[in-house]
Chain A
């Protein structure tokens, strides 16, 4: 009776585990099986919209990428039989890439940041055009972001974003940042420099790094640094002078309508002032200011915009500031001296009376 019970338990357990073991065994489809079809260079599919989807994958595809040691079924784990009847599902990176995983995959919260971002929320709402991990990082040839060949490397990321944001990419390529990026200058920001990497939000979202009240902060990350700007002969006073101007002050108090850096200099099409296409070129200043100040005329461009009253080059503004500085110091010294003399006299007389 006891023996029977033990056997029954063993049989039951075997019945419970063996099918699983068997499935695991069949799931590890070897690379050779996949390349039977995918190894042929002419293996491609004509899509409904006329586009051709190249399905050519060989054993070398993953070589050199961060997933060099992985095989097809590690990511395409929903393929359980060859040939697969249905199109494999989109790869879910979070299968391995989550914090606390045992796979040895890099651990970070980036995936959570992504799901909170404008792209992640669009996916969650069912927008099939919104990008998943592989849309930016690439599907098979994924390299580390620091690798210059990576699609998300500083030099490449603009093109990657531009695959969807085409007009903006075209504007950016012509801008001072875009041309500098093409020259391979290391300090220049690409898309992610301002918008963030995984934490990309819509510009009307207060969490966004390019929300109206965050723009100046974002630009000043580089433009207030003498170390960076000194290399290119650009002055850093723009940040301080903006913050002291009414525009800057109102911006610091949370006004979303007041001008920030990009209101005047442009957003993706920022160009140096000497460029005739620049929004801050003296010829274009009336138009640029006219966006908020209807009736702006060329007088708006007479005189420096980012003026610093503490600098002698500011001319009459410097002299006005200096005059008032000494007038204030002189007057207040005289008045405070008078007050203290008065109090001194009172104390002395009170002591005398006592």
Chain B
């Protein structure tokens, strides 16, 4: 048998068993034949053992990697505390569809607002001319429309969607939070306002997207199917749509590039950005910092649930 420092009692027992069986087999045979048979069996067994060992080392290696990863995670969790799922997979998917469509729309749309810029000409030429870039713009538009429809049904049909929609509705408390936060920025109040699941900043982002989507998709569809629209409406309706599309695009782009990018990328707490949009998880530490009221709710609910279990 090959040397192996991982051999255990079990393996020794098997070896002894095989030895005994072989001895029994060869006992009645002449010595040459017995030796030949013994050699044959030994080769077969060795082959068998080697194969088993190969398979075992691969799975053991995988197991070791997994354990190490878990250990690291546990170590990290000990620092950050427990992680919570902030955005479910469906919501993350919606966000990804939206941001990829908005990026496409901005880079193919903005050059049309500033045709004199060299960068605009570069971007349009990158797509292979205005004929192609307008097609890409419509692809982006299709994705944004899909996102809007998807989100509408998500809000109506899923429990998380309904809960988030209600939590996103503006409340009087938000105005108080704004005042509190500004006083905090100015150093008048030491502690930050305590936010629930959605702070007023996130609520603003959500409703800005809502408003932007309605304006952009509405006016964009007018411009897309201009001849059909003109069948029912006068030309100045199209001009209004054009003006809205152009102006709201500017507002949305500025809001995203300045406001949203500051809040999720350039803000010193976040720089250069978190992977929340990818894995949807948020640590207990971040929860305590940014959504203390939601954390309290979760803790309270858990306490209630465990109390129910023990009562039962």
Binding site for B on A (CB under 8 A): 243, 246, 248-250, 252-255, 257-258, 293-297, 299-305, 307, 309, 314-317, 320-321, 324-325, 327-328, 331-332, 335-336, 338-339, 341-342, 344-346, 348-349
Contact = CB atoms under 8 A, between A and B. Distances in A.
Contacts of A328: 247, 250-251, 254
B251 A317 contact: no
A320 B227 contact: no
A322 to B, nearest CB: 10
Contact of B185 (A305, A317, A341): A341
Interface in B236-266: 236-237, 239-240, 242-244, 247-248, 250-251, 254-255, 258-259, 262
A247 to B, nearest CB: 11
B243 A320 contact: yes
A296 B234 CA distance: 11
Contacts of B235: 299-303, 305
B231 A317 contact: no
A300 B230 contact: yes
Nearest to A309: B243
Interface of B: 111-112, 115-116, 121, 124, 129-131, 182, 184-187, 223, 226-227, 230-237, 239-240, 242-244, 247-248, 250-251, 254-255, 258-259, 262, 267-268
B239 A317 contact: yes
B112 A307 contact: no
Given A299-B230, A345-B185, A255 B129 contact: yes
B243 A324 contact: yes
Given A295-B227, A299-B230, A316-B236, A253 B124 contact: yes
B247 A325 contact: yes
User: What 5 A-B pairs come out closest when comparing CB atoms?
Assistant: A303-B236, A324-B247, A345-B185, A302-B234, A303-B235
15 contacts: A252-B115, A253-B129, A255-B130, A257-B131, A294-B227, A295-B231, A299-B231, A302-B236, A303-B235, A304-B236, A317-B236, A324-B244, A325-B247, A328-B251, A345-B186
A172 B271 CA distance: 66
Contacts of B254: 328, 332
A336 B187 CA distance: 19
A254 B259 CA distance: 35
Contact of A317 (B121, B129, B227, B240): B240
A331 B251 contact: yes
A327 B121 CA distance: 29
A276 B185 CA distance: 68
A335 B254 CA distance: 10
A351 to B, nearest CB: 10
A293 B227 contact: yes
B184 to A, nearest CB: 6
Nearest to A341: B185
Contacts of A317: 236, 239-240, 243
Contacts of A300: 230, 235
Nearest to A345: B185
Given A254-B130, A295-B227, A345 B236 contact: no
A325 B231 CA distance: 30
B258 A339 contact: yes
A339 B247 contact: no
A348 B267 CA distance: 15
A346 B129 CA distance: 46
B232 to A, nearest CB: 8
Contacts of B262: 339
Given A324-B247, A324-B251, A331-B255, A316 B130 contact: no
A314 B232 CA distance: 21
Contacts of A249: 112, 115
Contact of B226 (A248, A293, A315, A338): A293
A299 B233 contact: yes
Contact of A303 (B231, B234, B243): B234
A335 B255 contact: yes
Contacts of B247: 320-321, 324-325, 328
B258 A253 contact: no
A317 B251 CA distance: 17
Contacts of A297: 230-231
Contacts of A325: 247
A316 B227 contact: no
Nearest to B112: A249
A249 B247 CA distance: 16
A318 to B, nearest CB: 9
Which among B233, B248, B262 has the greatest number of chain A C-beta atoms within 10 A? Answer: B262
Given A299-B235, A321-B243, A246 B185 contact: no
Nearest to B129: A254
Nearest to A340: B185
B175 to A, nearest CB: 13
Contacts of A305: 235
